[in-house]
Structures are given as C-alpha cells and as structure tokens.
Chains A and B, each alone.
Chain A
Amino acid sequence: MSEMFIAKGDFPAIIERLMSRYRVYAPVKNGRYYDFAALKEAGAADLGFKNTRVSPKGVLYPQAERMFEYSLAKDDPEVNIVKETPKDFSPQVILGIRPCDAKGFKLDDANFCSDKFKDPWWAQRREATTLIGLACNTPSSTCFCTTVNTGPFDTTGLDAMLVDTGDGYALQVLTEKGKNVLGIVDLKPAPAQVAGKIEELKAGAEKSIPTAFDPAAIAQKETLEIFNAPFWDEIHFGCLNCGTCTFLCPTCWCFDIQDEVQEGTKGDRLRLWDSCMFSLFTFHGSGHNPRSQKVQRVRQRFMHKLKYYQDKYGTGTACVGCGRCVQACPVNIDIRQVGRILGSGCSCPA
C-alpha cells in the first residue's frame, strides 16, 4: 500500500493523536531495560530501543489474568456460580513492535486462535490490537530472524510498519486495520527518494544477520533419532531450570490455571504463565512426573520450538529469532547452537 512520511519532530503529536483514540503501548525505558508499556504521555515512547527485555506477548496474554470469579458465601444467592471476570477489550495499538515479535503473534495464533479452537480473550484482544511496527535497521548480534522465516523488515505480522530513515519515519500501511487506525492522523506522502532508502536499509540489515542453523534439516530428521540422541547430556548440563527463556520468549504460550480463595468467601480463577522448565509443569495429581529430570525438560523446550512445531504445523519453527533467550540465559545456553546440533546431529563446535 501507500508510503507516507513522518518527520521526527512531528512524531510526538502523532502519538498523542493515536492516544486520544486508542490505548497505545510503546517501548519505554525502565531502568536498564525496555518494556512495552501503556503510554501515559507521548514523550515516554522511546523508539531508540533495540528490543524490549520481555516480549510484548503480555499485552495480549497477561502474565497473570483473572479469568473467572466466584462466591463461596453460603448466604449468597449466587454461591458457587463461576462468572467471567469483566475484561477490557477496547481498541489498542502496539507502536514500535519489532517484525519478529509481530510474527511471534502469528505463531501464537496457531495455539490460541485457530480454525478449530479459539481462546476468547486472546482472540478478542488480538482483534482489538493494531500493530504499528518498527523495522530493524541495525539488528543485534543475537538476532537470527532470517534463519527462522522472518526478517528485520518482514511485514507479515504487521498492520503498518515504520522505517527510521534518519530524519523521520517512512510509514507503510499494510492492512485495512492499519489504514483505519492511521486514518485519524495527518500524514504526508513520502518524498520520492524514500523508497530507495528503505531498500538500502533493508538490504543492509538483512546482510548483517548470519544464518544460525538450518530448520529444514531439523524438520527432515526422524523425531526419535533427535529425541534419543546423546547430545542432550551436553546441551542440558548447565541449565538451571529457571524460567527466564520461556518468560521472555514471544512464542512460549503455556499457562497454568489456579484458584485463589480469599477469606473463604470468594475466589478467583487465575491464568498464569507457566514454564516447561519447572518440574511442577508436568507434575500429575497421581504424584507421577513424566518429566522429572532436567534433561527431559530442556529437551522438551528445544524440541517444541525447533522440531514438534515444525512437524505439526509445517510452517517452520516456533521461534522468531529475537535472541532474547540468548541474551538473558544466565548460563549461556544458546538456541542457535542447539539448532546447529539438532540439524547436524553432532555436538562438535560450529
């Protein structure tokens, strides 16, 4: 679709205009790291970020969400009736989301919003959310999006995309949703030379990202051959089984459901992010735990991302190459290295 242009000086006014109609999430610096936060003032948005520490999945799928509530008071006429907790599905915008994270939402849709199954809250928030992305001119050394079927200028998951051209942002409007949201702001057409500049930035960014491993080679391998391979002993050793990788990941969607009862008279049914790194994750009511060992849990995470998802959906890995887990793993377990080992069947150095 059409290409527009926003001078950097005009950008805060544009954000304010969007804020007048929508709840706008944007990268905000919080201490040392960035988060996607609902803006209270346009000036807090800082598009000078590389990426946020935690992925924006929490905007659509909060880490802790009250799903239902109920009364346990005997004299309450509605005792023991589980009622859905009211939720806010008003229209919102995620501004500055990176192409990889937007692609991540598409992968999450396979779980939360398919033809067969619909998670009502994910689906409604997804519908209410417009993604105005920001292309990556200078990817990080930990980025490997081009390995996993996306890229620094990939528009597949976005409704509109900004490209920082130095003095301003070129804006490509990509969907009807994007067109409707951006219809409320005054935009100028991009000067003629901008298209060439975008191509140049895109080529430079893509060139700077090396290929990390070969997902197709992993897809072709026999599942059991990889599952039973001896290299897991080496891959898993350092893992602490903390939840850092899964909680920062844009495509880790697993959750736990818990009831919390307050003072014996009322209760909440909560949905909470869970992690396959925790032994409780697979702990059965019977006391049996099919993944009681660390090596089984580590294997599960990488097999799910790099093998099972590929086998089940045939649309590539369940990883968008954002590199968060690579950056934040306290013991430097590197999914790129694991991908190489799974593809080659050998734990020899790359």
Chain B
Amino acid sequence: MQAYTEKIREAAKRLLAEKKVDVVIGFRKGTMPLMNEPFQARTPEQADLLVWDGNCGINLANYLPKRTEKIAIVAKGCDSRNISIQILENQIKREQLYILGAPCKGMTDKRKIQDELEGKEIFQAEEAGGQVKVSGRDFEKTFNRSEYLQENCAVCLHRNPVISDEMLGEPVQEQQVECYEDIKQIEAMTPEEKRKHFDALIEPCIRCYACRSACPACYCPTCFVDESKPQWVGKTTDPTDTRTFHFLRAFHVAGRCSDCGSCERACPVGIKVRQFTKKLEKEVKELYGYEAGMVQDLRPPLDVYRPDDPEPFL
C-alpha cells in the first residue's frame, strides 16, 4: 500500500495545478510511531507531504460534511462507503469530490503490537512488504501486519472503494471471513450476562466523546450529548449516564455505520465500542439486507419508510 504514496502525490499535484480541486485530503507522516496525521494539501509543495501506509486508520470522510470547496480525498473501502452515506444525506455533493480510491489491506492496530512488547516503548516503526519492524531501547521486533490488523479490518468484507474517480492501485481480493463471531458470542449470553459484559466494557470510559468525534456518521450540528434544552443525557461518569451515551450513539449510527473502526481506534482508554455498532450493523443487514454506503441510490433503512418494512421487533 505504500506504493500509493507516490501516486497520491502525483495526483494531488496534478489536480491542484490544474485547479480541478482546491484541496487534497490525505495523511502526512505522524510524529508518533505507527501514527499518521490527517492533512489537507492546498499547494503542490504541500502535496509532497502526503503519505500512505498501514497507519491511515482514521476515516477521512470525517473532514467533508458541509464543506463548499472542490475536494480531492483519499478513500479506503470504508471511507468511500461513508462518503456515499454523506452524499445520500446531503452533507457533501458528489460533484464537489474527486475520490482517489485506495484498495486497502487493512490498518495496523498499534495497541496489539504494543501488547506484545511487555511494556517496552516503540521509538520507531517501519513498514515494508507486509511487515512492520518496530524498535526501541535495546530491542527490535518484526510483525506480520496481517496478524496485527485493527479488529474491524480483520473482518472487513469491503476493502475496495465503492466509488472513485481514480484508483491508486489494482483492486485487492476481498476476504472470506466470519465477521460476527464476537457479536454472536454476546448474543448467546443471558440478559444478566450481557448487562455485566457491557458494564465492564464501558467501565473505563472518561466521556471524552472521541468515539463520536472520530465517527464520519456523527456530523449533527448539535450532537445529542451537547443539547442543553432539553438535556438528553447526564454528563457524569455514573454508569447510567455512560451507558445512555454509548447506547444512544450506537443506535444513531445504525444502518449508517461502515464499521470503519475509527471510534475504537480513537478511544483513549481502549474500549471496544464496535461491539455496540457491529451488532446494529448485523441487525440492519439481516432485517433489511442493507449495508451502509454500498449503493448510491438508497437511503439508510432507518430513515425511510416502506410499507413492507420488516417489523418482527414490534
């Protein structure tokens, strides 16, 4: 995937020079190992800072809603699905966008790699040929990237962009994987066990809302947690308030979530928030046969009404 770097820079310079777009949204190299920073290049010179590798996990569709310029944007499979949703929901216009499609082999989970290092700190990381070499004080270790992907990437069924104006590489082979294994385990629990499981899951939450802020489907002008008249949710770290926040957030993105994993990646305390959204993604798929962003002409099922909508839950 690193080969995309040159192609992104070339395309960015061309598009900026020809004034086809005003900005190019991608990533620049981060200051931290295994991290990149979302970045917008406005000039051909800045385009030389754009990079691509396995550390581009944050969904760039986040940076689109309500913008008015012409924008080129690098999009993985998931990013492209969220862009589709945003177009359907009138957050951005298709003709404003020039999508540089990035067929994706998954993003690296730096926490999983860190877990293997017995507390040793990574000073440097290099990615090459499907491997990540990390090094620090008195150690060096190499990992097969495919074994250390973000959990959502490991079970991703749509690695190739669904819409694009230019592809950065040949399509990659889609995975054949069981993607709801952890969800099925939770489904098999008794209500009491589920409650315990979810309470333990969100116990470390500090209510920073990074999961919401990193979500490309969360673009409401005023989020329900910020409403004060009326106030929908308490702001304390009492389990009831924290539960309310997580449940409401998950329901709000039902049928609109591409399982891009930005929420989980952004969480500063490592909560597996996808366990909520993935369950709802599964429900929507089973009930309505709908996967967010896979088609460009059908709005998410929970914001349309059809007389033949399934209603076994009523």
Interface, chain A (partner B; CB < 8 A)? 30-33, 48, 50, 53-54, 63-64, 138, 140-142, 234, 237-238, 240-244, 246-248, 256, 258, 260, 270, 272, 275, 278-280, 283, 326-328, 330-334, 336-337
Contact = CB atoms under 8 A, between A and B. Distances in A.
A237 B38 contact: yes
Given A48-B119, A332-B37, 4 more contacts: A138-B137, A247-B206, A258-B231, A272-B235
A32 B111 contact: yes
Contacts of B206: 54, 63, 243, 247-248
A326 B235 CA distance: 25
A123 to B, nearest CB: 23
6 contacts: A53-B268, A237-B63, A247-B207, A279-B226, A283-B228, A332-B36
B204 A31 contact: yes
Given A328-B268, A336-B31, A32 B210 contact: no
A244 B235 CA distance: 15
Given A50-B119, A242-B209, A242-B210, A64 B238 contact: yes
Question: Which 3 A-B residue pairings sit nearest by Cβ, starting from the closest?
Answer: A330-B266, A242-B210, A64-B236
Contacts of A256: 235
B123 A238 contact: no
A242 B235 contact: no
B208 interface: yes
A180 B74 CA distance: 61
Nearest to B27: A238
A272 B236 contact: yes
B274 to A, nearest CB: 15
Contacts of B37: 238, 331-333
A278 B237 contact: no
Given A141-B123, A330-B58, A337-B31, A242 B208 contact: yes
Contact of A275 (B31, B208, B238, B262): B208
Nearest to B227: A280
Contacts of B212: 242
B208 A243 contact: yes
Interface of B: 30-32, 35-40, 58, 62-63, 111, 115, 119, 121, 123, 137, 204, 206-210, 212-214, 226, 228, 231, 234-238, 262, 265-266, 268-270
A240 B210 contact: yes
Contact of A270 (B119, B236, B270): B236
A280 B223 CA distance: 10
Contacts, number: 110
A272 B234 CA distance: 10
Contacts of A31: 204, 270
A330 B270 CA distance: 11
A48 B111 CA distance: 19
A336 to B, nearest CB: 7
Nearest to A35: B204
Contacts of A336: 31
Contacts of B40: 237
B266 to A, nearest CB: 4
Nearest to B236: A64
Nearest to A238: B38
A63 B237 contact: yes
A32 B115 contact: yes
Contacts of A141: 121, 123
A9 to B, nearest CB: 22
A238 B39 contact: yes
A243 B209 contact: yes
A247 B267 CA distance: 12
Contact of B235 (A64, A279, A327, A331): A64
B184 to A, nearest CB: 23
Contacts of A258: 231, 235
Contacts of B228: 280, 283
Q: Which of A30, A279, A326, A331 has the most CB of B within 10 A?
A: A331
Contacts of B214: 240, 242, 330
Given A140-B121, A240-B266, A330 B226 contact: no
A242 B268 CA distance: 10
A142 B266 CA distance: 18
A30 B204 contact: yes
Q: Which of B39, B40, B121, B210 has the most CB of A within 10 A?
A: B210
B312 to A, nearest CB: 35
Given A247-B206, A275-B208, A332 B268 contact: no
A327 B31 CA distance: 10
A292 to B, nearest CB: 10
Contacts of B58: 238, 240, 330-331
B67 to A, nearest CB: 12
Contact of A50 (B30, B38, B121, B236): B121
A54 B226 CA distance: 23
Contacts of B207: 63, 243, 247
A261 B268 CA distance: 31
B39 A237 contact: yes
A308 to B, nearest CB: 23
A48 B120 CA distance: 11
Contacts of B237: 63-64
Contact of A330 (B204, B234, B265): B265
A324 B111 CA distance: 15
A240 B213 contact: yes
Contacts of A244: 208, 210, 266, 268
B37 to A, nearest CB: 4
Nearest to A330: B266
